[in-house]
Amino acid sequence: IQLEKSIGDAVPKSRCYYEARIKLRDAKEILIKAKHRFERAQELHVAAKELAIVSADFIDEAERSHQNAAAWNETYHQALAKAQDAETEKYQADFDQQAAQRIFSETEKLVEKLQKDLQRSINKSKPYYEMRVEHHQELDVSQAETILQFQGLFVWSIVNVVECC
């Protein structure tokens, strides 16, 4: 708080820039997840189509050799259903990826604009925000250590209860 007061008006002025950077980081994570989802959906779609093609080939082969093609026919229909489901998932994943890309691009442009407009305030308030990040990291580490301690204590308590009974 003292550092914020000593820096003056720059901290509140540059706050929107740092908030936009956090939104940009979050948008990037969402975009990466959307890309991975699309890639998985694409691979699943290709695999299901290949299975349908192979099943169709085995149906043709079974009919030529006068064998029962019923099992392959069932496999073929299941593969077609999976291919249709995978195609639907692929299109939905593509739509979500494009939306995530749009949000990321818009947020990136906002960050660049704010950086350009608030350059002086950003530079002046940088020590405050760096200290704030450091403080939050220390809190996260402390929280993780506390959780681990209580988990260990909980396990120890459970072991004691089991041994007593």
Each residue's pLDDT tens digit, 6-16: 777 888 899 99
Q: What pLDDT shows up at residue 17? A: 96
The predicted pLDDT at position 1 comes to 60
Biggest alpha carbon–alpha carbon distance for the chain:
90
Select the more confidently predicted residue: 72 or 47.
47
Q: How many Cβ atoms are within 10 Å of 100's Cβ, its own excluded? A: 21
Q: Report, in this order, helix, strand and coil percent for the chain, each rounded to 5.
A: 95, 0, 5
- pLDDT tens digits for range 114-146: 999 999 999 999 988 899 899 999 999 999 999
User: What is the mean predicted confidence (pLDDT) over 90-109?
Assistant: 98
CA distance 87 to 81: 10
- pTM recorded for the entire structure: 0.74
Residue 5 pLDDT class (50, 70, 90 cuts)? confident
Distance CA(77)–CA(84), nearest Å, equals: 11
